[in-house]
Chains A and B, each alone.
Chain A
Amino acid sequence: MTRDELRHKSRCARETRTAAGLRISVCLGSPCVATGAEAVLRALRESYGDRAIEVIGTGCMGPCSRGPLIRIEDRRGNRAAYYEKTTPATAMATVRAHLEGLNPDQGRLPADLPFLIRQQRVVLANSGICDPESLASSLENGGYAALLHAIEKMAPEEVCHEISASGLRGRGGAGYPTGTKWELVRAAKSRRRYVVANGDEGDPGAFMDRTLMESDPHRLLEGMAIAAYAVGATQGFIYVRGEYPLAARRLRQAINEATRAGLLGPHILESGFSFTIRLRIGAGAFVCGEETALMASIMGRRGQPVIRPPYPAQRGLWNQSTLINNVETFGCIAPIISKGADWFKSIGVPGSSGTKVFSISGDVATVGVMEVPLGTPLRELVAMSGGISNGNFKAAQTGGASGGCIPASHLDTPMDYESLTSLGSIMGSGGLIIMNDRRCMADMARFFMRFCQDESCGKCVPCRAGTEQAAQLLRRITSGDATEDDLVKLEELCHLMGDASLCGLGMAAPTPVLGTLRWFRDEYQAHLRAGGCPTGVCDREKHPCHV
């Protein structure tokens, strides 16, 4: 594809969009697919596909627990109405009514639903709008315009500089400044360079990266291509966890389509810049989200971390300098290049610029994916998701198994890197599990410790044996057999794991325990005394049918 062809395609698309008629979009994110969205799409296509009605499958629209979702709007994208929990029959009835000029109420989401209207979508701008299985649809929505802009108008160091200036920080969890990382890779002495997208989203309750990969795979490819152009890489890898077959399929299709169109491969857009991307599928190890383990896995070795330094920027894949960023970080690149660093910096709060995608789940009315400016208070996120179901707010677990919890007294905490760190939690990848007052915090800590015990690679002793002993102690606490001494031992172990482990998994494994101990120590104490579990959760666990 030449530069003019790319410009022409996006212009043409804008023109066709002004034609009259209805457009029906069916959400094809995995939660909607799991509840039967494909049947809805098939039924609508069979009946209306040949008329002046456009029926398309799109990526995730956001409120996942309400799927399968469809959106009906006119061709210009106006007057959008969302319908939840559709079946082929109800979807057909709704569309029929729309054709008759009616606006049926059954299953319609309120037009002012906070979940939909209070979001600010930057990374997910095209998610739920474009067809993830079509390059043309991505081009219509401005795909690859930033890549063209970078190649045509910017020198590689200018791209690095722009990213640094935007204040973008890694979205994978640690929040390392992305621009700094790029400059390090750019400056490293290396024969070749690699760009790797970390799509091994393993945290319980995290599904932001999956949403982006499934909904707008070209956005990820574009971000990686810009990164490769900036740091001087020629080969990229996307590491997708094996549990995301739909994301892997769509990415593979997107890579093939982009390569055929000349947006990846040799001499991209008539420039001297060449870049290819290969897909690597994980085999179900949480630890492979750690960058050194991820690289080992890409190289076909056992997925276990190695000691840093040397950092991947110095010696990564096959001992060459390697840039590893999270999928969502790459998703931020194209908008920054298109709209400028200042625009990006104007969103969010100082120190944490831009937006963040959160996947909110647990005891909330609507489970799903939402993108908001960094620094948005937790209270606002809970309100957006429709409030707490079955009780009152008790705590929110941020950052999955590596994060801590935020109690009700800190509900107004702004969700940015520093505020969460000061509360003993982390931003993490953006998984947000909301718990109501019927949840036992000790039991939750036990769950996460069990998770880390299962996922420890076994290389270093504090993590391998420490998680095993800590899980044992937590099991004893939740079953009411523990003493004060056990609680002391547990805390001691947690500090050992946090300080002495080899990689991030072990260092972060005790965070859920330390977080719950910090805010809900009385609940642990209650388990020690004869009183048992204050919420009654753990007493059920003692039942022989629970193992």
Chain B
Amino acid sequence: MPRLSLTINGRAVKARQGETILGAARERGIFIPTLCNLDGLKPLGGCRICLVEVRGHPRPVPACATKVEEGMVVTTDSERVVSMRRMVVELLLAERNHQCPVCVMNNNCELQAVARLLGIDHVRYDFIAPRAVLDISHERFGIDHNRCILCRRCVRVCDEIEGAHTWDVNGRGAASRIISDLAEPWGLSGTCTDCGKCVQACPTGALFAKGTETTGKGTICLEKLVAWRQRREP
């Protein structure tokens, strides 16, 4: 397999053709924060947390969705992209209700982790936090739209891995909501297989398992599942 050489943060790096910048950086122990990315799912490029600078590109590019090219010069931690990441996380924290102390995912939350990593101790924007609904009609799980960051991991995992496509997005802009089937209560969904992958995939406390003291997340290893799927479909 052809190997490409590129430079990430001044370090010479070899990468496989077709690999993303994110993958190449991770292999070398260079950390790029992500939110909407989940290994095994198709990249979305929506959260813009993983933006990196590539020489010759006027704008930063998402590391999760940009393929490596020969001779690429990538900077993952420039002042510009770090300040962008901070602003994006601030915008997310202000967009919906992210009250960590009362959230089921406190201390297990990826949004919280990214915020902590970027040293965000306050949010400069107005908290918009519209009163979004909580759907606990499903027997085992619930969805709290107040915690949702619209990363669409649940949508993609349900579509790409489980193949049920129960979840999708309704509305647009800030009014976007994750819906099950045709905006029916989750408990009445005819397509949901109750597999719980969406709950496992959710980075925040938006999707949760009911009746457990902890989040119940992380009990299924999605990466193994993906590897298993890929073995079956060459």
Contacts and interface: CB of A to CB of B under 8 A. Distances in A.
Contacts of A461: 46-48, 88, 91-92, 95, 149
Interface stretch (A53-61, A190-198, A367-375, A492-500): A492-500
Nearest to B92: A461
A149 interface: no
B144 interface: no
B47 A465 contact: no
Contacts of B149: 461
A429 interface: no
A466 B128 CA distance: 12
B128 A468 contact: yes
Interface string A454-468: 111111111011111
Contact of B84 (A457, A496, A502): A496
Contact of B91 (A307, A456, A458, A469): A469
A454 B88 contact: no
Given A499-B60, A500-B60, A453 B125 contact: no
A248 interface: no
> Chain B's interface: helix, strand, loop or mixed, by majority?
loop
B203 interface: no
B175 to A, nearest CB: 7
A285 interface: yes
> Chain A's interface: helix, strand, loop or mixed, by majority?
helix
Contacts of B164: none
A489 interface: yes
Nearest to B87: A496
Contacts of B80: 499
Given A458-B176, A461-B92, A465-B94, A493 B169 contact: no
Contact of B174 (A456, A492, A507): A456
6 contacts: A307-B43, A453-B174, A456-B174, A457-B173, A460-B47, A461-B92
Given A460-B48, A499-B60, A466 B173 contact: no
B65 interface: yes
B144 to A, nearest CB: 18
A302 interface: yes
Interface string B45-59: 111100100000001
A456 B59 contact: no
Interface of A: 285, 287, 302, 304, 307, 453-462, 464-469, 472, 489, 492-493, 496, 499-502, 507
B59 A459 contact: no
B224 interface: no
Most chain A beta carbons < 10 A, residue from B88, B94, B128: B88
A472 B128 CA distance: 10
B48 A502 contact: yes
Contact of A496 (B44, B47, B88, B169): B88
Contacts of B172: 285, 287, 304, 455-458
Contact of A468 (B51, B62, B87, B174): B174
Contact of B126 (A287, A304, A469): A469
Interface string B86-128: 0110011011000000000000000000000000000011101
A287 B174 CA distance: 14
A459 B152 CA distance: 9
Contact of B169 (A458, A462, A468, A472): A458
B48 A458 contact: no
B182 to A, nearest CB: 13
B150 interface: yes
A489 B91 CA distance: 12
Given A458-B150, A499-B60, A489 B92 contact: no
